[in-house]
Structure 1
Amino acid sequence: MAVNVETLEKLERKMTLTLPVNVIQSEVDTRLKRLARTVKMDGFRPGKVPLSVVAQRYGYSVQYEVMNDKVGEAFAQAANEAKLRVAGQPRITEKEGAPEGELSFDAVFEVFPDVKIGDLTEAEIERVTAEVDDSAIDRTIEILRKQRRTFAQRAQGDPAQDGDRVTVDFEGKIDGEAFQGGKADDFQFLVGEGQMLKEFEEAVRGMKTGESKTFPLAFPADYHGKDVAGKQADFMVTVKKIEAAHMPEVNDQLVKSLGIAEGGVEALRADIRKNLEREVKFRLQARNKQAVMDALVAKSDLDLPKASVQSEVERMVESARADLKQRGIKDADKAPIPGELFQAQAERRVRLGLVVAELVRSNELQAKPEQIKAHIEELSASYEKPAEVVRWYYGDNRRLAEVEAVVIENNVTEFVLSKAKVNDKSISFDELMGQQAAA
């Protein structure tokens, strides 16, 4: 087999493969004979079908299979001998004018690029830190109390206040016409918790049991109900019941109801702190990892294999369709989602994948078994039965691979931060968690 490789442009290469016809024919004959021993055809006993009849029926498909296999083998062997790292599948076409007794093919393909990473000591990266303070623990306890609150009916004549649970009848009309979803009886909601649109809450706040009120309500332009989005409605609401919330005291009884048998309130606060610190650690890792990846993109120089980018685009389109299907969108698997929407994101992912792989290879940043084990144990610690969660991870190679990828990224993050010019910045717990600070 003679092999010739030429560069077309950037990462694109062309390889010419030459195969003897007799090698192809010999393999075709072998497969047809094997097929003749098992094939079933009308008028013949099994295993007694003449080879000429088998060849007539199956010859073309067998020859096609053999050509594919032999050319594929020849390509893989030639790429291996030339030490080429092939990206994606080659486009193979048969050439005309080959010498007698031979078949020639052109294989056009891409190779993975040489990755050049700039001087990481010149990279400037902002690394954020955050602490779990007492106010974060206090707010978590308030959430736990709210989840266990009870309600008791207010005295007749008491107005509805924030935190109360109200039961109402309402009906809305747009230009005098009722609309779907605009009417309900015995509807309950909590005042002041954002469950209803602002105008609705403001109308009910201060009303008393038995009172009715008519008020205007402007639906936002991005309201989920498309038929009423951006329109003005008139609502009539009648308050039928007002119930005041009772929050449980922070005492041993509450602590025990949360599954903490001993240690009282201090044990509860310690448990909450431990869980919040675990969450803070993961969020800091994610945020600082993003800063490192941005720096790597800026410091790397490489051509991207079009085949890899296209594969990533296709994967992201399929993921988008799966997301639509999960949301119950009809015919989501046929949704016309243009790949261009994901082009830039796909290019970034491919670029980062190649850069990270190069850093891992050249600096031995692979995930060690003990790192994977420690990460899984940390992920499992917040569950009621951690040992079962650990077994769940180790019971599936795909789940293990996902953990391994995270650990590798963490190793790369720590490596880059150890080299770069790092500016440390302390941020609040609320900012890290994406919450607004309590007033």
Structure 2
Amino acid sequence: MQTVETLNEGLKRAYRLTIPAKDISARVDAELKSVAPQVRMPGFRPGKVPANLVRKMHGPALEQQALESAVQEGVQKLLAEQNLRPAMTPSVALEEAGQGKDAIVTVEVETLPDVPAASIEGLKLERLTVPVSDDMLDEAAQRLAQGQKSFDPAPAAHKAAMGDLVVMDFEGKVDGEPFEGGKGEGMSIELGSGRLIPGFEDQLVGVKANDEKQVKVTFPQEYPVAYLKGRDAVFEVVVNEVQTARDVKADDSFAQSMGLEGIAQLRDLLKNQVEQELNGLTRTHMKRQLLDQLAAAHDFPVPQSMVDAEFDQIWRQLEHEASHEEDPAAARAEMESERGDYRAIAERRVRLGLLLSEIGQKNGVEVNQQEMNALVMQAAQQYRPEDRQRFVEYIRSEPMAAAQLRAPLYEDKVVDFLFGKAEIGDREVTRDALQEAIESEEGHVHGPGCGHDHHDHDHGAKPVLSDAAGGVEGPKKDAAKKPAAKADAVEAPAEKPTKKVAAKKADASEKADAPAKKPAAKKAPAKKA
């Protein structure tokens, strides 16, 4: 094989490979010898079909197979010989090929950068802690009680308000025509729950029992039924009944209804839950400070293909959010005006992902087999019982999927290692002050190249950091398919996100992705509904 480098700019490389025709022919001959004994043809004994007839029957397919294997082997040999570490799957194109001809292949690849030695000395962090108060426990107990609330029929003249339950019949039409799944009877919906498509519940405020109401809505662009996406619809609603929520108090009786001795035992159980939640917020704030300092102290080129992939992920989430805003057009216009800011966030995330991966490798951070087994078993619980073993086998056979599963724990371990290196000062604050520190840009430690803007806030984004060099994000699992619209056509396709959620997810201060995305060869089993 002849190799000629045609491009060498920054992290981008391009090559022209020439695979001799004789090499491809030799592969075809070897395959013919392999398959000939299994060929069956009328008039010939098994294994005695003449070679020329075997070639006539199977030659084209074998030549294609030989060409593909030669190209694949040639690309792998190129990567090894040139000591290339691809950031993303190389782009391979066949320029010229044919029977008796040399195969000419072009290969374009963007490589991972040589990450400079990380500067991890002199890190200074502030740990904001919040003591658990009686008021917090009272609030948590009352929230739990509200979640168990029941409803009583309201007086006939009562007008439905947010928090009330409306029992209704409905029939929807698009362009004046009924559509499948657009009709339902006796459906109960708590106003303000966000279960229905945007705008539906708001228009039921003020209705009374036996009222008839015309509700006009627009199906979201991400609605799972293709022919309804973005379509305007009119629903004729008949209100059967309005119910009001019964007051539920967090007292001994409520606790005993849950099988506990009394409210004191419930508060003890809730205290541990509240402590875990507050500790999570404390860690989020510390992690943000840590990654801000790392971003400020390290600047190196990153593969634009990685940045493009990360930006596309951010942008898709932003578009999803915009479709749920009161004025989707205005939300999209705002997005476009800040496109450069979001791209800077994507670049920062890629850089931090590569940096954390390098720090972990250089300092022996790893996820051991016992921890990995626990992760696999935990993830398998998301699937139907009959699919769990297939999921386990899928993870074992697909390194990219295993890397994605391992990534969050690996990132946490790298962060914990860096916490151990940092000088940490403690300060007790209120919960509101801690929340404000997380949400406010003034709560960040800024520096050159941070890539921050006023949207970078996220304390819930999942990290996707691999401990492989130039980490990878593995394949996404297929979601359980939702059936075509039936009586739930008015149901929202997803919970309505809070404003700027996608931008929050874009914050590398909390999510330090190493986002090289490579497709897996197999699909994971569909998650249970």
TM-score by length of 2: 0.52
The share of aligned pairs that are identical, in percent, is 24
Of 278, 300, 303 in structure 1, the residue corresponding to residue 301 of structure 2 is 303
Structure ranking higher in helix proportion: 1
SS of residue matched to 2:13: strand
State the shift of 1:410 in Å. Answer: 1.2
Counterpart residue identity of residue 25, structure 1? S
Match of 2:269 in 1: 271
Match of 1:410 in 2: 412
SS of residue matched to 2:246: strand
| Counterparts in 2 of 1:26 and 1:281: CA distance versus 1, 3 Å | same
Give runs of aligned pairs for residues 38-437 of structure 1, distance below 5 A: 38-40=38-40, 47-87=47-87, 88-91=89-92, 93=94, 107-116=107-116, 119-121=119-121, 127-149=127-149, 245-248=246-249, 250-251=251-252, 253-260=253-260, 264-309=262-307, 347-369=347-369, 397=395, 404-419=406-421, 426-428=429-431, 431=435
Deviations 1:152-196 (A, max 9, x none): 679x99999999968899xxxxxxxxxxxxxxx999888999999
Tell me if the contact between 1:312 and 1:350 (Cα under 8 Å) persists in the aligned partners. yes
Q: Quote the RMSD (CA, aligned, Å).
A: 6.0
State the shift of 1:111 in Å. Answer: 2.0
| Counterparts in 2 of 1:404 and 1:134: CA distance versus 1, 3 Å | farther
Point out where structure 2 has 5 or more consecutive residues left out of the alignment: 169-184, 222-229, 322-335, 382-387, 439-458, 461-497, 499-529
State the shift of 1:24 in Å. Answer: 2.8
Counterpart residue identity of residue 246, structure 2? A
Q: For the residues of structure 2 that align with 1:186 and 1:105, how far apart are their CA atoms? A: 64
Match of 1:12 in 2: 12
Q: For the residues of structure 1 that align with 2:22 and 2:233, how far apart are their CA atoms? A: 74
Counterpart residue identity of residue 274, structure 1? N
SS of residue matched to 1:13: strand
Tell me if the contact between 1:115 and 1:301 (Cα under 8 Å) persists in the aligned partners. no
Which is worse superposed, 312-321 or 421-430?
312-321
Tell me if the contact between 2:250 and 2:263 (Cα under 8 Å) persists in the aligned partners. no
SS of residue matched to 1:91: strand
Greater Cα radius of gyration, structure 1 or 2: 1
State the shift of 1:31 in Å. Answer: 0.8
Counterpart residue identity of residue 129, structure 1? T
State the shift of 1:281 in Å. Answer: 3.2
Tell me if the contact between 2:36 and 2:47 (Cα under 8 Å) persists in the aligned partners. yes
| Counterparts in 2 of 1:86 and 1:26: CA distance versus 1, 3 Å | same
Deviations 1:388-435 (A, max 9, x none): xx9999897489755532221112222334445767664506937999
Counterpart residue identity of residue 431, structure 2? S
Tell me if the contact between 2:162 and 2:191 (Cα under 8 Å) persists in the aligned partners. yes
Q: For the residues of structure 2 that align with 1:374 and 1:280, how far apart are their CA atoms? A: 25
Q: For the residues of structure 2 that align with 1:250 and 1:242, how far apart are their CA atoms? A: 24
State the shift of 1:136 in Å. Answer: 1.7
State the shift of 1:114 in Å. Answer: 0.7
Q: For the residues of structure 2 that align with 1:368 and 1:13, how far apart are their CA atoms? A: 35
Tell me if the contact between 1:5 and 1:15 (Cα under 8 Å) persists in the aligned partners. yes
State the shift of 1:301 in Å. Answer: 2.6
| Counterparts in 2 of 1:66 and 1:191: CA distance versus 1, 3 Å | closer
| Counterparts in 2 of 1:58 and 1:290: CA distance versus 1, 3 Å | farther
| Counterparts in 2 of 1:37 and 1:302: CA distance versus 1, 3 Å | farther
Q: For the residues of structure 1 that align with 2:241 and 2:78, how far apart are their CA atoms? A: 82
Tell me if the contact between 2:38 and 2:47 (Cα under 8 Å) persists in the aligned partners. yes
Q: For the residues of structure 2 that align with 1:68 and 1:240, how far apart are their CA atoms? A: 67
Counterpart residue identity of residue 250, structure 1? D
State the shift of 1:268 in Å. Answer: 1.4
TM-score by length of 1: 0.60
Deviations 1:71-119 (A, max 9, x none): 43233234324433233225355689xxx99776554423211112663
Counterpart residue identity of residue 264, structure 1? G
Tell me if the contact between 1:166 and 1:239 (Cα under 8 Å) persists in the aligned partners. no
Q: For the residues of structure 2 that align with 1:366 and 1:49, how far apart are their CA atoms? A: 56
Q: Aligned residues, how many?
A: 378
SS of residue matched to 1:114: coil
| Counterparts in 2 of 1:306 and 1:144: CA distance versus 1, 3 Å | closer
Counterpart residue identity of residue 262, structure 2? G
SS of residue matched to 1:407: helix
Counterpart residue identity of residue 269, structure 1? R
Q: For the residues of structure 2 that align with 1:46 and 1:313, how far apart are their CA atoms? A: 58
Counterpart residue identity of residue 84, structure 2? L
Counterpart residue identity of residue 289, structure 1? K
Deviations 1:231-279 (A, max 9, x none): xxxxxxx99888683435611x43232233xx53322111111122233
Counterpart residue identity of residue 55, structure 1? R
Q: For the residues of structure 2 that align with 1:150 and 1:25, how far apart are their CA atoms? A: 77
| Counterparts in 2 of 1:274 and 1:188: CA distance versus 1, 3 Å | same
Tell me if the contact between 1:120 and 1:299 (Cα under 8 Å) persists in the aligned partners. no
Q: For the residues of structure 2 that align with 1:346 and 1:27, how far apart are their CA atoms? A: 45
| Counterparts in 2 of 1:295 and 1:22: CA distance versus 1, 3 Å | same
Tell me if the contact between 1:164 and 1:245 (Cα under 8 Å) persists in the aligned partners. no
| Counterparts in 2 of 1:168 and 1:62: CA distance versus 1, 3 Å | closer
Deviations 1:5-25 (A, max 9, x none): 576101122445555543332
Match of 1:327 in 2: none
| Counterparts in 2 of 1:138 and 1:91: CA distance versus 1, 3 Å | same
